[in-house]
Structure 1
């Protein structure tokens, strides 16, 4: 019975956010972005597209999310395959740089990860949503404190979306699913590059 109640709550939660969020569509012009990655290097879409055939831009919720860590690890494990196709991988998270360091330690990520501390990149790509009070309280009871993780009290998270942006600056591929358990597969990304 408890599992059924949790399942219904999850369906309602995802349903509310799926109606509110659409994300960018394939063919759209990708919004420019820039930020400082975990290595202190300035990263901008404009500069990356000058030197790479494509950018794989993905949004993840945080180092506390096991599905996010699995995705980051898979991208790292396949980084040579992705770069061989001319792609540059960039992750975006609302978390602080200190928590990005935890992600890197857990996953071995060697690609750029940017802290979207003002939610600007998430908003530009239409992947941001505000966690409601009940869900925030539930996460906190599981030891996830978004205020601490993100360094603010906005409770903003991204839909874990992935975009491939081609050299012309257009979105070539989109994986956008409000179900945080579903992520773009490496096989699909390689096929789309």
Structure 2
């Protein structure tokens, strides 16, 4: 029992830190962003919205997060259903391109994933939070080295949020929950597309 409590403790600290963030609300204009995905494809929100009915944009913490991997697998399993509704799926993460490759290997993700190298996309969507030193040290003790995973010393993670952005650039749906275990289900996304 003690091991379970010790393992959960650092995640609880992150949840309380993330509570300060609110994310963007439905009806807001989606901040534009661009990047290069794991396949070298240039990604631009403006271009995607010209080519697709909507964009499903989600933020995940890293390949080390089992809840992130489960969510990505669920999105991949429903990718044909999502794209049939005119959606383009994009994952955004602070992890390095090498770790994005690990995520893809674990989840078989076939959609675009881009590295938010400078935390700009996370900040624009209001999902970024800084992990305190005590929690960072606890994570490291469990073998989760954010500095190695993200390639920087900022200790920034996203609240695992999901946004549906419609063709006009408005946010139509938001799932924002500081509890890292709660994610937008693909069934919910499909009803909102």
TM-score (norm 1): 0.95
Deviation sequence 1:73-123 (CA, Å, 0-9, x none): 110010000000000000000000010000111111010000001000000
1:87-106 correspondence to structure 2 within 5 Å: 87-106=87-106
Q: Distance in 2 between matches of 1:54 and 1:13?
A: 31
User: Is the counterpart of residue 188 in structure 1 residue 162 in structure 2?
Assistant: no
Q: Distance in 2 between matches of 1:9 and 1:146?
A: 13
Which runs of no fewer than 5 residues in structure 1 stay unpaired?
none
- The aligned counterpart of 2:29 is 29
> By how many angstroms is 1:7 displaced?
6.2
User: Please, what is the CA RMSD of the aligned residues?
Assistant: 1.5
1:36-115 correspondence to structure 2 within 5 Å: 36-115=36-115
User: Is the counterpart of residue 167 in structure 1 residue 167 in structure 2?
Assistant: yes
Q: Distance in 1 between matches of 2:43 and 2:17?
A: 33
TM-score (norm 2): 0.95
User: Is the counterpart of residue 117 in structure 1 residue 117 in structure 2?
Assistant: yes
- The aligned counterpart of 1:17 is 18
1:135-174 correspondence to structure 2 within 5 Å: 135-174=135-174
Change (3 A) 1:9 1:47: closer
> By how many angstroms is 1:190 displaced?
0.2
Which runs of no fewer than 5 residues in structure 2 stay unpaired?
none
Q: Distance in 2 between matches of 1:105 and 1:8?
A: 28
Q: Distance in 2 between matches of 1:12 and 1:147?
A: 18
Q: Distance in 2 between matches of 1:180 and 1:4?
A: 16
Q: Distance in 1 between matches of 2:75 and 2:7?
A: 30
Change (3 A) 1:175 1:132: same
